[in-house]
Structure 1
Amino acid sequence: MIEVYTDGASRGDPGKSGAGIYIKQGKTKFEYAIPLGELSNHEAEFLAVIKALEICEEHFPDEIISIRSDSKLVVDVVEKNFTRNQSYKPFLETIVQKSATFPYFFIKWIPEKQNYHADRLSKQAIM
């Protein structure tokens, strides 16, 4: 199982944004700080999950993927496979499509303090 920690950050709403992705495969760790352009914080959080899934598609295509995020909004939308917010629907559709390529996909909310690495990387991406 691949543990994937994601976080999105935005300076302003909208503002300069970035995604932080921290991946654990056993004892091996991978870190990604990805600039995202001008987005809201919620959009950055969704895109962090999408970018993480894209990385996993390329490097871990046959693995069980467990995403951990400190964004309750993103986790709730993905778990329920539903949002009323029209601007989030394309993000949800992309996550559903990409997650379906893995044998098993899980998403779990974690407290911000447990998401230190991804948080640091997301902030690094907007510096």
Structure 2
Amino acid sequence: MLEVYTDAATKGNPGPSGIGVYMKKGKEMFTIAKYIGEYSNHEAEFIAIIEALDYCQKKFPEEIISVRSDSKLVVETLEKQFVKNKVFKPYYEQITEKAKTFPYFFIKWIPEKQNSHADKLAREALYQQED
């Protein structure tokens, strides 16, 4: 099983955004820190999961994927399979399509304090762009 922690950092809402992804498989660790442009904080959280799943499709296509996010909106949208805000619908659809390619896909909400590594990566991506 691959544990995937995702987070986003946005300066302004919407504003410049970075995403962070921290993945663990046994003792191996993999990371993504990427500046993604101008988005709302919620959009950036969805994009972080999409980027993580893209990476997993290339590197771990046969793995069970367990995503952890501190975004209640994103986790609830995926768990309930319902999108209230039509802006988020394309992101939701991309995630659900990508998730189908794995043997199993899970998503779980976690408190911010348990997501510090992904948060740090997202902030690094955002601030590196500003330099």
**TM > 0.5 fold call:** yes
Residue 52 of structure 1 corresponds to which residue in structure 2?
Answer: 52
TM score, norm. by length of structure 2:
0.96
Residue 108 of structure 2 corresponds to which residue in structure 1?
Answer: 108
Task: Report how many residues are paired.
Answer: 127
Mapped pair 1:4 → 2:4 = yes
The residue type equivalent to 2:53 in the other structure is L
Mapped pair 1:92 → 2:92 = yes
TM score, norm. by length of structure 1:
0.99
Please tell me the root mean square deviation across aligned C-alpha atoms, in Å.
Answer: 0.5
Query: Unaligned 5+ residue runs, structure 1?
Result: none
After superposition, give the CA deviation of every residue in 1:74-102 in whole Å (9 maximum; x if it has no partner): 00000111112000000000000000000
**Greater share of residues in helix:** 2
Offset, 1:35: 0.8
> What is the percent sequence identity of the aligned residues?
60
Offset, 1:126: 0.6
Query: Unaligned 5+ residue runs, structure 2?
Result: none
SS in structure 1 at match of 2:119 = helix
Structure 1 residue runs of 4 or more that deviate by more than 2 Å after TM superposition: none
Alignment of 1:19-38 (within 5 A): 19-38=19-38
